[in-house]
Amino acid sequence: MESRLHVLLLSALPWLLLAGPSGAADDSDDDDRQLSVIQPELERREIDPPAIDSEDFELGVFGGVMSIEDFGSNTVTGLRFSYHVTESFFGEAAYGRTDAGKTSYEILSGAANLLTDEQREYSYYSLSIGYNVLPGELFVGRRRALGAALYFVAGVGNTSFAGEDQFTLNFGAGARVLFTDWLAAHIDVRDQVFDSDLLGESKTTHNIGLHIGLTGFF
Amino acid sequence: MRAAIALLLLFTALPGFAGKTPRIVTVAENYLELRTGPGRGYPVFHTAESGETVEVLKQRTGWYKVRTRRDIDGWVSRADLAKTRETDGELVQVDVIELGDVVEHRWRAGFSTGDFGGANVLTVLGGYNFTNNLSIELSFAQATGPFAENVLATASLVHQFVPERRLTPFFSLTGGLVRTDPSATLVQTEDRTDQVAAAGAGVRAWITRRFVFRAEYRNYVVFTSRDDNQEIDEWKAGFTFFF
């Protein structure tokens, strides 16, 4: 309020000085002048019906290490696509693939292979809801600050492994660091949980991936 | 994977979200706070003064990136932008979805999960609203059970009541195809594709603008080539986003 008052008084000053010598002008004239002073000079531009570009989508790739229960760890690569609904919530679709290694039994026995090479292909997709927590800035040196947030995700999906499709739950957490408005790096951990009877008895398996990723907003 | 691709296609097929927000706005309140990022957690680092014009560059969720005349870029909340004025002096109309006003935002996409006749089912869906009450919905579902895997591609007509309420019931009529792949361990079975029809009901609950929780029940009839048709109950819950 104070600054507005200052602007008003200061900008009114030259008019008052000009108006001073000419004596008492009539009231309506005075009002007009006052008004023209208060109104800021606006740039009148011809603008098309403007469409503000919205950047609520995020698409990117990730890579990392995935540990498949009983079948060792291997590199995993994948794609990730998010839609940011609000500053807190986002929906995410992801696809990843890796290859299963050998079980301890297969290694120790020497020859007994439980799965063919084709069956060792492991791929999954997931549909998740994410929630951003602790948004803020990371300071890099003295002059740079990067936007960052931690997030939690949980969702459902499907895993194709050993020639079978398995309904899969996934949970995870990650950190997103924005290098620019649109370019972000991720570090995250996901646990893919599904029931498997591959080794005889049915059990719940946890398959944990550690990923780094690069995404762009558009 | 198929469902993921379907969802991706669905998202990319959606038209660009074109708001009605003007490019150049004038600060009408005493000041306009600029934050370093699009979120409440980012600090305010600059204020634009009353009467100053700022250029709106882009939008992310409920935040708008603006540039001041001194070339300072920062993020402004939707609520703050709604207090600025257009060059003709009118208050800026920011793009806000009122509850149930889905016609302004005709497209939606989402996913849900649940039980499909004893199998776990995962559905991705896309919808288009004709009116605030009536919409069409395309969905693609994968059900993995102990004996078979089903893939469903369906189209539904959905009627929702009292769309302006936070909690709204809806009814749906569905038709489509279902493919059944019996488990590899069961011998002498064949993959088959059948027509399917369903009637359903459910509720939608708005969590925030553009973000909706939904739960529904569907009763499917599978028109098999055998003597009698097969009935399947489906219960599922999930989330939908409006664009």
Query: Which residue, among B58, B34, B65, B62, has the nearest Cα to B48 in the 3D structure?
Result: B34
- B90: in domain: no
* Distance from the B223 Cα atom to the nearest Cα atom in chain A, whole angstroms: 25
The share of chain A scoring above pLDDT 90, in percent, equals 44
AA letter at A51:
A
Quick one: pLDDT at residue B133? 87
My answer on whether B156 and B227 are in the same domain is: yes
Measure the CA–CA gap between B102 and B105, rounded to whole angstroms.
5
Query: Which residue, among B72, B80, B73, has the nearest Cα to A181 in the 3D structure?
Result: B73
Q: Does B185 touch chain A (CB under 8 A)?
A: no
My answer on whether B71 and B156 are in the same domain is: no
My answer on whether B238 and B163 are in the same domain is: yes
Segment B91-119 shows an average pLDDT of: 75
- A129: in domain: yes
Instruction: With beta carbons less than 8 A apart as the criterion, state whether B117 and B109 touch.
Output: no
Full-prediction pTM beyond 0.80? no
- Which B residues in the span 151-180 are in contact with A, Cβ-Cβ below 8 Å? none
The CATH number linked to A129 is 2.40.160.20
Instruction: With beta carbons less than 8 A apart as the criterion, state whether A91 and A157 touch.
Output: no
Tokens standing for residue B238: 């999930």
Quick one: pLDDT at residue B139? 95
Which is more confidently placed, B16 or B116?
A: B116
Measure the CA–CA gap between B145 and B117, rounded to whole angstroms.
9
Task: Please determine, for residue B115, whether its predicted confidence score (pLDDT) is greater than 80.
Answer: yes
Segment A13-29 shows an average pLDDT of: 48
Domain that holds residue B32: 24-81
* Distance from the B112 Cα atom to the nearest Cα atom in chain A, whole angstroms: 9
Q: Does B13 touch chain A (CB under 8 A)?
A: no
- The answer to whether the Cβ–Cβ distance between A125 and B3 falls below 8 Å is yes
With vertex at residue A152, the alpha carbon angle to CA A151 and CA A157, rounded to the nearest 5 degrees, is 130
Number of domains in chain A: 2
Instruction: With beta carbons less than 8 A apart as the criterion, state whether A145 and A138 touch.
Output: yes
- The answer to whether the Cβ–Cβ distance between A89 and B36 falls below 8 Å is no
My answer on whether A75 and A26 are in the same domain is: no
Mean pLDDT score of chain B, rounded to an integer? 82
> Looking at the partner chain, which of B8, B41, B60 has a beta carbon nearest the beta carbon of A84?
B60
| Tokens 């969802």 belong to residue | B7
The CATH number linked to B192 is 2.40.160.20
Number of domains in chain B: 2
* Distance from the B87 Cα atom to the nearest Cα atom in chain A, whole angstroms: 7
Quick one: pLDDT at residue B16? 41
Report chain B's C-alpha Rg in angstroms.
24
pLDDT tens profile A87-111: 889 999 999 999 988 888 888 887 7
My answer on whether A28 and A73 are in the same domain is: no
Measure the CA–CA gap between B218 and B199, rounded to whole angstroms.
6
Measure the CA–CA gap between B55 and B77, rounded to whole angstroms.
14
Quick one: pLDDT at residue A27? 47
Q: Does B211 touch chain A (CB under 8 A)?
A: yes
Chain B CB contacts of A165 under 8 Å are 142, 144, 149
Measure the CA–CA gap between B104 and B162, rounded to whole angstroms.
16
Quick one: pLDDT at residue B12? 45
My answer on whether B113 and B181 are in the same domain is: yes
Task: Please determine, for residue B138, whether its predicted confidence score (pLDDT) is greater than 80.
Answer: yes
pLDDT tens profile B54-77: 888 888 888 888 898 888 999 998
Instruction: With beta carbons less than 8 A apart as the criterion, state whether B32 and B84 touch.
Output: yes
Determine which of A85, A126, A170 to mutate to test the interface with B (most B C-beta atoms within 10 Å): A85
> Looking at the partner chain, which of A54, A127, A167 has a beta carbon nearest the beta carbon of B111?
A127
Task: Please determine, for residue A45, whether its predicted confidence score (pLDDT) is greater than 50.
Answer: no
Residues in chain A: 218
- The answer to whether the Cβ–Cβ distance between A147 and B42 falls below 8 Å is yes
Q: Does B61 touch chain A (CB under 8 A)?
A: yes
My answer on whether B64 and B44 are in the same domain is: yes
My answer on whether B9 and B49 are in the same domain is: no
pLDDT tens profile B191-239: 788 999 999 999 999 887 778 899 999 999 999 887 788 899 999 999 9
What are the φ and ψ backbone dihedral angles of B219, each rounded to 5 degrees? -110, 110
AA letter at A67:
S
ipTM greater than cut 0.85: no
- The answer to whether the Cβ–Cβ distance between A52 and B142 falls below 8 Å is no
> Looking at the partner chain, which of B18, B43, B62 has a beta carbon nearest the beta carbon of A51?
B18
The CATH number linked to B33 is 2.30.30.40
The share of chain A scoring above pLDDT 70, in percent, equals 77
Chain A CB contacts of B122 under 8 Å are 127, 156-158, 167
Of the given ranges (A22-26, B52-56, B143-147, B157-161), which has the lowest mean pLDDT? A22-26
Segment B111-123 shows an average pLDDT of: 92
Quick one: pLDDT at residue B7? 47
Measure the CA–CA gap between A12 and B30, rounded to whole angstroms.
18
Task: Tell me the torsion sign for CA atoms B81, B82, B83, B86.
Answer: positive
Domain that holds residue A143: 57-217
AA letter at A81:
F
Chain B CB contacts of A51 under 8 Å are 16, 18-19
Query: Which residue, among B212, B200, B115, B208, has the nearest Cα to B159 in the 3D structure?
Result: B200
With bands split at pLDDT 50, 70 and 90, how would you rate the model's confidence at A150? Answer: very high
Task: Tell me the torsion sign for CA atoms B41, B47, B48, B51.
Answer: positive
| Tokens 């994948």 belong to residue | A78
Which is more confidently placed, A201 or B16?
A: A201
With bands split at pLDDT 50, 70 and 90, how would you rate the model's confidence at A25? Answer: very low
Chain B CB contacts of A77 under 8 Å are none
- B91: in domain: no
My answer on whether B143 and B36 are in the same domain is: no
> Looking at the partner chain, which of A56, A158, A164 has a beta carbon nearest the beta carbon of B142?
A158
My answer on whether A85 and A174 are in the same domain is: yes
Measure the CA–CA gap between A203 and A195, rounded to whole angstroms.
5
My answer on whether B47 and B143 are in the same domain is: no
Tokens standing for residue A77: 């690569």
* Distance from the A151 Cα atom to the nearest Cα atom in chain B, whole angstroms: 14
Which is more confidently placed, B206 or B10?
A: B206
My answer on whether A22 and A102 are in the same domain is: no
- The answer to whether the Cβ–Cβ distance between A156 and B30 falls below 8 Å is no
Task: Tell me the torsion sign for CA atoms A112, A114, A118, A122.
Answer: negative
pLDDT tens profile A70-80: 888 999 999 99
Q: Does B101 touch chain A (CB under 8 A)?
A: no
Instruction: With beta carbons less than 8 A apart as the criterion, state whether A143 and A137 touch.
Output: no
Task: Please determine, for residue B11, whether its predicted confidence score (pLDDT) is greater than 60.
Answer: no
Instruction: With beta carbons less than 8 A apart as the criterion, state whether A158 and A124 touch.
Output: yes
